[in-house]
Chain A
Amino acid sequence: MRGHESVHARHKVSRIWLSLTLALLILAGAQQALCWSLKEAAEPYRGVTIRTIGEALPPLEALDKLKDKFTKETGIEVIIEQYAHEEAVDKVMLDLNSRTGRYDFIIQPHRELGRFVENNHVVPITQFVENPKLKDPNFHPEKELYTNLWKEISWYKGKPYGYPFTAITMFLWYRQDMVNDPKEKEGFKAKYGYELKEPEDWQQYHDMAEWFTRPDKGFFGTAIQGKRHVALWYEWLNFLYSFGGDVFETSKGYEYGPIIVNSPEAVESLDYYKGLIKYSPSDTLNYDWDGVMAAMQQARIFECIMWNDATYAVEDPKQSTVAGKMGFGMVPQGKGGKVGQVEGWSYLIPTGSKQKEAAFLFMQWALQYDQQLFQQLNGGASPRPDVYANPEVQKLAYTKAALQTMEVAKPKATFPESPQVTDILVLALSDALSGQKTSKESLDWAAVEIHKLLGDRAPMKYPVK
């Protein structure tokens, strides 16, 4: 009996020790969380200047407005260089290869990630995350960011190389005021036999493009980003995925796999896409995203597929004649279901960076809720889901569409040759749109060229005779 009591007592003591240890650990963690401050962490870097580069769009413009707040708190000066999409990418490639270390951190699209990692141009952020002097214990990216997005756009082969700067997808823009117009509703129903409303599938999208095309009034149903430019590839991917196609049969961006870009679904999607030219302004084959956005801002088109980080500009009354008249929704549904394409720019730290730690502190700070909220309200596309729950953000007309698309957005290739694959596809698509080749000929050509580039790592699932 005494023996039993003794065991019981020992267990009790063990439990007390365990509880005490746990309490101490929690206290230590809490103390660390309470004790860590950005100001103290940044003290060794006070007075240094860090420089970054990214695409000149509202999210980066918003960050530029925020940077002084960081400087005030840390004494670290921040210089943000803003360029057009392709220029921002080219400048970074030159800097990374010449190893001049001009940029202490870079903001780049995720299709470039493989090139950077495989050529040792960027460093994993693990070394900073594991440094208690640098890591903000209150920041939990795995919980606070869209985890899938983060792992897709800032991780490569299981290692984190940065944090997402934006979570951008493309979705449907349309003129809600026209959809709600009783005369339009009546006429549309008489012709097509169903209610005029937000287009939910490609047939409806086509019908509405046709219905609203009125060239005599300088108004068109839609506009496509048909210029030989990377915008063309991005836009078509929405059609491709939605029609049930893809470029490669892989599940991860860094994986090589069978080429399926010339599948029947892909050809069908390109045929459909090409068919929209007749409902677009005459210069649509010379439009990139800026051209289509301007057409919408000037109230010259009814609907288009556009980026969410451009939405701010169409809802800003100073820049747009259709502010407050717009509706936003998911990319129309096809055989591939409701999908979108995810793209995102990431904060990355180059190997040649001279101020890696200060850059990490800035990245971490920029992802805090307050900064993200400011960015979101000024045209950002935050990678933090909690920002979208803010009542002010909820009021934005495009928040719902952005959130819905994020849930179903598909990743794309990030291996080192992926920008070359993009270049091949841009030419193939441009050839098809300009009428030089049929959709099938163009995509067959692209499949062969991609296979030549990647060799046995990417066999052709649909061989070309």
Chain B
Amino acid sequence: MITGWRRILLDKGVGPLFLTPSLILLLALLVGPFVYMVVVSFTDLSFAIPNHTGNFVGFDNYRKLMRDDPLFWDSFWTTIRFVTAALSIEFLIGLSLALLLFHSIERHRIILTLILLPMMLAPVAVGLMWKLLLQGEFGMLTHYLREVGIFGAQTAPLSSYTLVLPTMILIDVWEWTPFVTLVLLAGLLSLPREPYEAAIIDGAGPIRVFFDVTLPLLRPIIALVLLLRGIDAFKEFDKVWILTGGGPGSATELLSIYTWRINFRNWDFGYGAVVALMVYLVVLILCSLFYKAMNLQQGGAK
């Protein structure tokens, strides 16, 4: 119980003052840079071009993005393909593994520990490891895929325009499915027993129980894991950069790589700010959609 002078201070409304340090940090580290980015997006600021010192250019950068930059849109759609495919596969495999482990968790604790290994590796290490595995001449995986006839004698996944994006997706699936499994398994373990008992008494079979009980109860967790992974996949940079540098051509130029190229290869911060804002906008829309899905579910449960 708060007594004496502390009580008096709180009664006089000094409480919010204690939030000030956090608010200052928040403003300095998040809001401030974001506002600065928006301001820069209306300028021609460039570290490379003389006299481009941050002069106001109105909506020129936005116009360029919308009308005159097909590379941005190529990169945008490549990213959408990457995120959608990676997320769907990770969810399907993750859910299957979580269900499998859920029914035999006591016996499979070691397996659970083992499947978590890929997500514990640093992305750069993952990139380098897969670069060796998929090397065209002496990569171990390439060799065996050729041996079993999946790859032709001259197929090298990182040099093939058609194979390279699916390869990136599969590597992402390998790295992040364990995370999806872990979160979904935690969700499954936290579900109440009563609805299952009621369903079984009502005569529901395992498939009916899965679709009518497990999935609806698990929906907030599914939304959460898809949200986290979606944001993460949208920001993917390290692995792809190490493995392909965005190529061949622009086959794996994800938005993060494109943004990096504009900002830190061309040092064109004015236009780079618009590109970064667009990435932010997409992630924001993604977040809102998932939050909405979660809230809808919570509303439904009430």
* Chains A and B are bound partners: yes
| Complex-state Cα separation, A118 to B46, whole angstroms | 12
**In chain A between 264 and 323, which residues have their CB closer than 8 angstroms to a CB of chain B?**
281-286, 300
B137, A423: Cβ atoms under 8 Å?
no
Measured CB to CB, the closest approach of chain B to A461, in angstroms, equals 23
B266, A93: Cβ atoms under 8 Å?
no
Tell me which residues across on chain B come within 8 A of A136, comparing CB atoms: none
A6 within 8 A of B: no
A423, B266: Cβ atoms under 8 Å?
yes
Measured CB to CB, the closest approach of chain B to A90, in angstroms, equals 6
Tell me which residues across on chain B come within 8 A of A97, comparing CB atoms: 47, 267
* Cross-chain contact of B161 among A115, A284, A416, A435 (Cβ < 8 A): A435
* Cross-chain contact of B247 among A300, A420, A430 (Cβ < 8 A): A430
| Complex-state Cα separation, A141 to B49, whole angstroms | 31
Name the 3 nearest CB pairs between A and B, nearest first.
A283-B136, A228-B247, A434-B248
The total of chain B residues at the interface (CB under 8 A) is: 29
In the assembled complex, 17 residue pairs joining A and B whose CB atoms fall closer than 8 Å, in A order, are A93-B47, A118-B50, A119-B50, A226-B159, A226-B248, A229-B247, A281-B136, A282-B156, A283-B136, A283-B156, A284-B136, A286-B247, A427-B71, A430-B247, A430-B249, A433-B248, A436-B250
B-contacting residues of A (Cβ < 8 Å)?
90, 93, 97, 115, 118-119, 215, 218, 226-229, 281-286, 300, 416-417, 419-420, 423, 427, 430-431, 433-437
Tell me which residues across on chain B come within 8 A of A118, comparing CB atoms: 50
* Cross-chain contact of B159 among A115, A218, A283, A300 (Cβ < 8 A): A283
B137, A282: Cβ atoms under 8 Å?
yes
* Contact bitstring B45-83, A, C-beta under 8 A = 1, else 0: 001111000000000000000000001000000000000
A283, B251: Cβ atoms under 8 Å?
no
| Complex-state Cα separation, A285 to B247, whole angstroms | 9
Nearest B-chain residue to A287, judged by Cβ: B159
B251, A282: Cβ atoms under 8 Å?
no
Tell me which residues across on chain B come within 8 A of A433, comparing CB atoms: 248-249
**In chain B between 250 and 302, which residues have their CB closer than 8 angstroms to a CB of chain A?**
250-251, 261, 264-267
Tell me which residues across on chain B come within 8 A of A419, comparing CB atoms: 48, 265-266
Measured CB to CB, the closest approach of chain B to A249, in angstroms, equals 22
Tell me which residues across on chain B come within 8 A of A285, comparing CB atoms: 156, 158-160, 247-248
| Complex-state Cα separation, A179 to B99, whole angstroms | 63
Nearest B-chain residue to A442, judged by Cβ: B249
Tell me which residues across on chain B come within 8 A of A300, comparing CB atoms: 137
Q: A281-B136, A435-B161 are in contact. Are A228 and B265 (CB under 8 A)?
A: no
Measured CB to CB, the closest approach of chain A to B258, in angstroms, equals 11
Which of B135, B261, B265: most chain A Cβ within 10 A?
Answer: B265
Q: A282-B154, A417-B48 are in contact. Are A434 and B247 (CB under 8 A)?
A: yes
Measured CB to CB, the closest approach of chain A to B256, in angstroms, equals 15
Measured CB to CB, the closest approach of chain B to A44, in angstroms, equals 34
A215, B48: Cβ atoms under 8 Å?
no
Nearest A-chain residue to B247, judged by Cβ: A228
A283, B49: Cβ atoms under 8 Å?
no
| Complex-state Cα separation, A434 to B12, whole angstroms | 70
Tell me which residues across on chain B come within 8 A of A93, comparing CB atoms: 47-48, 267
B244 within 8 A of A: yes
A218, B137: Cβ atoms under 8 Å?
yes
| Complex-state Cα separation, A227 to B135, whole angstroms | 13
* Cross-chain contact of B249 among A286, A423, A436 (Cβ < 8 A): A436
A283, B158: Cβ atoms under 8 Å?
yes
* Cross-chain contact of A286 among B49, B155, B244, B266 (Cβ < 8 A): B244
Measured CB to CB, the closest approach of chain A to B147, in angstroms, equals 15
| Complex-state Cα separation, A436 to B47, whole angstroms | 32
Determine the main DSSP class of B at the interface with A: loop
Measured CB to CB, the closest approach of chain A to B249, in angstroms, equals 4
B245 within 8 A of A: yes
**In chain B between 216 and 260, which residues have their CB closer than 8 angstroms to a CB of chain A?**
244-251
Q: A417-B48, A420-B266, A423-B266 are in contact. Are A283 and B137 (CB under 8 A)?
A: yes
| Complex-state Cα separation, A285 to B162, whole angstroms | 13
Nearest A-chain residue to B64, judged by Cβ: A452
B141 within 8 A of A: no
| Complex-state Cα separation, A119 to B267, whole angstroms | 13
Tell me which residues across on chain A come within 8 A of B265, comparing CB atoms: 419-420, 423
* Cross-chain contact of A431 among B135, B245, B250 (Cβ < 8 A): B250
* Contact bitstring B116-159, A, C-beta under 8 A = 1, else 0: 00000000000000000001110000000000000001111011
A281, B137: Cβ atoms under 8 Å?
yes
Nearest A-chain residue to B159, judged by Cβ: A285
Which of A281, A285, A433, A437: most chain B Cβ within 10 A?
Answer: A285
Q: A283-B158, A433-B248, A434-B251 are in contact. Are A416 and B50 (CB under 8 A)?
A: yes
Tell me which residues across on chain B come within 8 A of A218, comparing CB atoms: 137
Which of A215, A434, A437: most chain B Cβ within 10 A?
Answer: A434
Tell me which residues across on chain A come within 8 A of B261, comparing CB atoms: 423
Measured CB to CB, the closest approach of chain A to B257, in angstroms, equals 10
Nearest A-chain residue to B265, judged by Cβ: A423
| Complex-state Cα separation, A118 to B49, whole angstroms | 8
Nearest A-chain residue to B243, judged by Cβ: A286
B249, A427: Cβ atoms under 8 Å?
yes
| Complex-state Cα separation, A106 to B261, whole angstroms | 23
B245, A228: Cβ atoms under 8 Å?
yes
B250, A282: Cβ atoms under 8 Å?
no
B250, A286: Cβ atoms under 8 Å?
no
Which of A228, A419, A423: most chain B Cβ within 10 A?
Answer: A228
A282, B245: Cβ atoms under 8 Å?
no
Beyond A93-B267, A283-B135, 13 additional contacts (C-beta under 8 Å) are A119-B47, A119-B50, A228-B245, A285-B158, A416-B49, A416-B50, A417-B49, A420-B48, A423-B261, A427-B71, A427-B249, A430-B250, A435-B161
| Complex-state Cα separation, A17 to B47, whole angstroms | 58
Nearest B-chain residue to A90, judged by Cβ: B264
| Complex-state Cα separation, A433 to B153, whole angstroms | 19
A227, B250: Cβ atoms under 8 Å?
no
Measured CB to CB, the closest approach of chain A to B289, in angstroms, equals 33
A227, B247: Cβ atoms under 8 Å?
yes
* Cross-chain contact of B246 among A226, A228, A417 (Cβ < 8 A): A228
| Complex-state Cα separation, A409 to B261, whole angstroms | 30
Q: A119-B50, A282-B159, A423-B265 are in contact. Are A434 and B249 (CB under 8 A)?
A: yes
Tell me which residues across on chain B come within 8 A of A423, comparing CB atoms: 261, 265-266
Tell me which residues across on chain A come within 8 A of B137, comparing CB atoms: 218, 281-283, 300
Tell me which residues across on chain A come within 8 A of B250, comparing CB atoms: 427, 430-431, 436
Which of A215, A284, A427: most chain B Cβ within 10 A?
Answer: A427
